[in-house]
Each structure stands twice: as C-alpha cells, then as structure tokens.
Amino acid sequence: MNDQSFYKHHVFFCMNEREGKDARPSCGKCGAEKAQKHAKKRIKELSLSGQGKVRINQSGCLDRCEEGPVLVVYPEGTWYTYVDTDDIDDIIDTHLVGGKVVDRLKI
C-alpha cells in the first residue's frame, strides 16, 4: 500500500437524531440528510467521486452538537457548519475543488 490516502478528501456529515424535548441539538433535525444528498449528487455531477478524489459519507454523532449541523473534511480535519445547500456548494467549490478553507463556515 502506498502513502497516499485512498481519497483526496473524505467528507463526513453528522446525521445523528436525538429524541426528546430536553435532548441536545442534533444535526439530523437541522437538514443534514438534505445537505449530504446534495453534496453527494454535486460531487458526482462534477466527476469528483471515486478513488483518489472525493467521498461523501454519512456518520453517526460527531459530538459537536451545539455547533451543528456539522461536517468534517479529512485528511485536513476541517470542521464546518452550514445552513443550506448554498453553504454546501461553497464548501465544495472553495475547499474540495479550490483547496481553500471556507472561513465563514469553519468551526
């Protein structure tokens, strides 16, 4: 096996949903599924998915609930929050394609 990561960027969207009115906030109740599906579709449309490129995944709780919804980009370990698909597009265009952190969304 070589020293390179299997993916250039591996993106994890927290999809956790907590039950109960007194539970901590949860990403799954803040549009995470819609955002993750949008990102996955857009990456495919840009022909950026697959080995050596970008992988968009769902994850369980990433334990940054009060800052959510959240996603994390590896191998950099850059954490983002977002509001809508425009924010997701900004992360894709600026970070995943352009190689620059989106400071306004960085946690």
* Residue 107: inside a domain: no
For the entire predicted model, the pTM comes to 0.91
CATH classification of the domain holding 77 = 3.40.30.10
Q: What is the pLDDT of residue 38?
A: 98
SS3 2: coil
Q: Cβ distance 28 to 16 under 8 Å?
A: yes
Q: H-helix or E-strand containing 70?
A: strand 70-74
Q: Which domain holds residue 93?
A: 9-97
CA distances to 83, 87, 99, 101 from 65, in Å: 14, 18, 26, 21
Q: What is the pLDDT of residue 19?
A: 81
* Residue 63: inside a domain: yes
* Residue 105: inside a domain: no
Total domains present in the chain? 1
Q: What is the pLDDT of residue 22?
A: 67
Q: Cβ distance 67 to 73 under 8 Å?
A: no
* Residue 1: inside a domain: no
* Residue 67: inside a domain: yes
* Residue 18: inside a domain: yes
Q: What is the pLDDT of residue 103?
A: 98
Residue-by-residue pLDDT tens, the chain, 107 positions: 345 679 999 999 999 988 877 667 789 888 999 999 999 999 999 999 999 999 999 999 999 988 889 999 999 999 999 999 999 999 999 999 999 999 999 99
- Cα–Cα distance, 102 to 48 (Å, whole number): 19
What is the Cα 25 distance to its own chain's centre? 17
